[in-house]
Amino acid sequence: MPGGPGADGDGRRRRERDALAAAITVSASALGVCTPNPPVGAVVLDESGEVVGTGATEAPGGRHAEVVALDAAGDRARGGTIVVTLEPCDHHGRTGPCTGRIREAGLARVVYAVSDPNPVASGGAGTLRREGIGVVRADDDEVRAARSGPLRAWLHRQDHGRPLVTWKYAASLDGRVAAADGSSKWITGPVSRRHAHARRQEIDALVVGTGTLRADDPALTARTDDGRPAPRQPLRVVMGLSPVPADARVRGADDRFRHLATRDPAEALALLGDVSHVLVEGGPRLAGAFLAAGLVDEIDAYLAPLVLGAGLSAVSGAGVDTLAAAHGFEIRETTILGDDLHLRLTLTADTTPLTRGPR
């Protein structure tokens, strides 16, 4: 991050770099909560560089991350710095502009990672500079870290006009999601299942097809390690033309259930509205439909150290007839989960610039 020369400048850059890393981390608490707003994180440093406040975006209609952090800091923010993952907004939405709150707090400096090019909400950095507040953008590597963190799915929606789609499956080493007799519980172990339930809390909508509904009658809830419902729950979605029985567990007792009466993945995503991140957990045909439509952006693969030799494949009907037509993905993360291997993959050469819209 830019800063003054010498030891003092180096120390400030180090503190601001650490603060941005902390802001990215705290922003994860907004995942699954703040949609359609972006999951932003903010950290306030006092004049001496000590952390005096942190915050993340609240649910729609609530406070933005900057305001949460400044409320926590109180008078200690005066003369200090706020470090934020996204350029402070400069417009009136459900709440007032963050630029106004920053000015009122008496901050001397603002450091942000991702710029705001949207004409409705942009201009926060310029407004603050005109008011005499020092504003700098983070270094390129820090910007990349912010874009690839909790902001990623929201930014994907701004750029592509649709949610980020993750296909999740659990399979044997030879790609089977069920044995020849149809048994599938449990291919992967308890550590993988806990990891998958934590992932469910971070996304906006969880989608299965009517085939999975008939076979498994899934609840599609996110659960804690002790089996209780997690604090954050995704929208539970069944996609397909068959009706959903009145007593299906997926309906639940809340208003977090949707039936999308379509087999078209693009239409299904449009019907979901302004969600940012969709997790496809349906069976092989649903996965194949999303792949064939070019609508899988990343894959969460949980692989068990088993070979079944026969049984249901992880995907069918993906629109691939030759090796040259295969859908290409790059491995981004590998993690050992108990006896299993978790792979997170993204589309090959996914280098589209990420932008943001109003919040």
pLDDT tens-digit map of 17-51: 999 999 999 999 999 999 999 999 999 999 999 99
Q: What local confidence, expressed as pLDDT, does residue 121 receive? A: 60
Q: Which residue has the tokens 């902390």?
A: 22
Q: How confident is the model at residue 2 (pLDDT cuts 50, 70, 90)?
A: low
Asked if pLDDT for residue 93 goes beyond 80, the answer is no
Of 14 and 7, the structure prediction assigns the larger pLDDT to 14
Q: Which of 163-167, 172-176, 213-217 has the lowest mean pLDDT?
A: 213-217
Q: What local confidence, expressed as pLDDT, does residue 344 receive? A: 96
Q: What local confidence, expressed as pLDDT, does residue 205 receive? A: 97
The token pair that represents 100 in the structure block: 């106004």
Domains and CATH numbers, the chain: 6-150 (3.40.140.10), 163-347 (3.40.430.10)
Q: How confident is the model at residue 359 (pLDDT cuts 50, 70, 90)?
A: very low
Starting at the edge strand that comes first in sequence, how are the strands of the sheet with 109-114 ordered? 51-56, 41-45, 81-86, 109-114, 134-137
pTM: 0.88
- Across the range 54-71, mean pLDDT stands at 96
Q: Which residues are annotated as catalytic?
A: 66
Q: What local confidence, expressed as pLDDT, does residue 351 receive? A: 41
